[in-house]
Every structure is written in structure tokens, then in C-alpha cells.
Amino acid sequence: MVAFVVAIDGPAASGKGTLARRLAERFGLAHLDTGKLYRATGFLVLEAGDDPADPVAATAAARRIDPARLANPGLLNEAVASASSIVAAIPAVREALLSFQRQFAANPPARSEATEPRGVEPRGAVLDGRDIGTAVCPDAAVKLFVTASPEARARRRLRELRERGATAIYGDVLQDMKERDARDSLRRVAPLAAAPDAVIIDTTLLDADQVFEQASEIIARALAARRQPSGEYP
């Protein structure tokens, strides 16, 4: 049976990462934060002193990343975030990172216990990013597009940065984020976009728990529909 895939896309600091992690835990699914692949690529380019806009250097970096080392805290800073969106606009970089993402979705690593009772489920995965529902996993069982106003997202990113001890100014964070969103939305290949069949969740006025509950209901319904033998209705 094909793996149960949840695709979560959205702009920077929309809350999709936290949501994806929590959903994966609740439903016993594996989780891949695909932004980390682009961040790792940007990180390697900067580390080598190369230009993130150089397709040769960026593609070589994308081929060198080690998916086992995506927890590197060095990936979280804003210089790496900017570099990641520059390398992400290069078609050969996206191509180099695609098969790992598709493999992960098709054969998700087994996960320990779900907090939600599930019965016997097929394996599944939550992938979050910019193009999961449109390009990486167009057949995902559930597609969510999580968004919020730029100001709300900049406030959240500022809080995250300060919690990690970084010094950051609201105006700079907002400006950097707007630039990155524009680059992500306007690029030629796999731009940031909601798939036509995605459920759009605007989190501007919602807290993380409310978003989690909304998304959990959507996933629970999709899992129930999958368990239902075809042709039968509850």
C-alpha cells in the first residue's frame, strides 16, 4: 500500500515546521523538514566562501549534503536562510534534492509510538516546505498550505531568534522575510504556491494549538476515509 503522505507548504515562519513535527508525533508519521536540505546547501556554499547564486558551486553543495546532519544549529541563522532561498531558485539544486525527498515520502522511516490510537496503519510521512503539494508529492493524501500575515510571521521569527540568543531587530527580520518570500514565490521552478487541492490555513489570528487541532481533524478524516473499504460509507 502506498505510504500516507501529508504535504505542508507555506511561506517563512508560518508555523508549518512546528505543526509538521506535532502532527507527525500525534499520528506516528515520519517527518522531513525539507527546508533543512536547502539550508544545508546554503550553509555549505557559505562555508566554502562561494556565492550562493553560482549554479556550479550550489549544485555541488546540494550533492554533498548529509541528510543525517540536518540538526546542525548552524542551519538556523538568517544568513543561511537567505542563502538557502538563493540556492533554491537554481533548477539543478532542486533536482539534486528531489530524489531524497521522494524516497523519504515513498519509504518513510518507521517511527515509534503515535500518541493517537491508529489501529494498523501503513507507514506515512509529513513533509513540510514550499513545493511539497505541487511538485515533490503531488499525490499526497493531505495537502495543507499554512500562511499568516508577514508582520505576524516576522514577530514569530523574531521571538524564535531571540529565544536562541541571537540579536535581531524586527524591521530587519520583516525585510529579510519579505525578500525571501518574493524570491521563493517568483522563481521559475517549483515556486512557493498552494496546490489547487490544498486546504489553506491562515494562522494570523490562531495560536499553535488551534492550528494543530484543525490540521489534526483533517488528517484524522483522511485516515478514516483510507481505512474505509472503497464503495462503503460510514
Amino acid at 115: T
Q: Taking CB under 6 A as the criterion, which residues in 101-160 touch ligand CDP?
A: 129-132
Among all chains, which residue has been given the C-alpha cell 541571537? 166
Nearest residue (CB) to ligand CDP, 70 versus 218 = 70
H or E stretch covering 207: none
Q: What are residue 229's phi and psi, to 5 degrees?
A: -55, 145
Among 17, 28, 108, 133, the residue binding ligand CDP under the rule CB under 6 A is 17
CB of 82 to ligand CDP, least distance (A): 8
Give every CB contact of residue 165 below 8 A, 6+ residues apart in sequence. none
Contacts from 95-104 at CB under 8 Å and sequence distance 24+?
Answer: 96/59, 96/62, 96/63, 97/34, 97/37, 97/38, 97/41, 97/62, 97/65, 98/136, 100/37, 100/67, 101/32, 101/34, 101/37, 101/127, 101/132, 101/136, 101/137, 102/136, 102/137, 104/30, 104/32
Question: Is 12 a residue that touches ligand CDP (CB under 6 A)?
Answer: yes
CB of 79 to ligand CDP, least distance (A): 12
Nearest residue (CB) to ligand CDP, 105 versus 223 = 105
- Measure the CA–CA gap between 148 and 136, rounded to whole angstroms: 23
Query: How many residues touch ligand CDP (CB under 6 A)?
Result: 17
Sketch the per residue contact string, 68 through 97, with ligand CDP: x for CB under 6 A, - otherwise: -------------x--xx--x---------
The closest of 58, 64, 132, 109 to 88, measured between CA atoms, is 58
Among all chains, which residue has been given the C-alpha cell 542551519? 75
Query: Reduced to 3 states, what is the DSSP secondary structure of residue 201?
Result: strand
CB of 111 to ligand CDP, least distance (A): 21
CB of 195 to ligand CDP, least distance (A): 13
Sketch the per residue contact string, 170 through 209, with ligand CDP: x for CB under 6 A, - otherwise: ----------x---x-------------------------
Sketch the per residue contact string, 31 through 70, with ligand CDP: x for CB under 6 A, - otherwise: ---xx--xx-------------------------------
Interacting residues toward ligand CDP by CB under 6 A: 12-13, 17, 34-35, 38-39, 81, 84-85, 88, 129-132, 180, 184
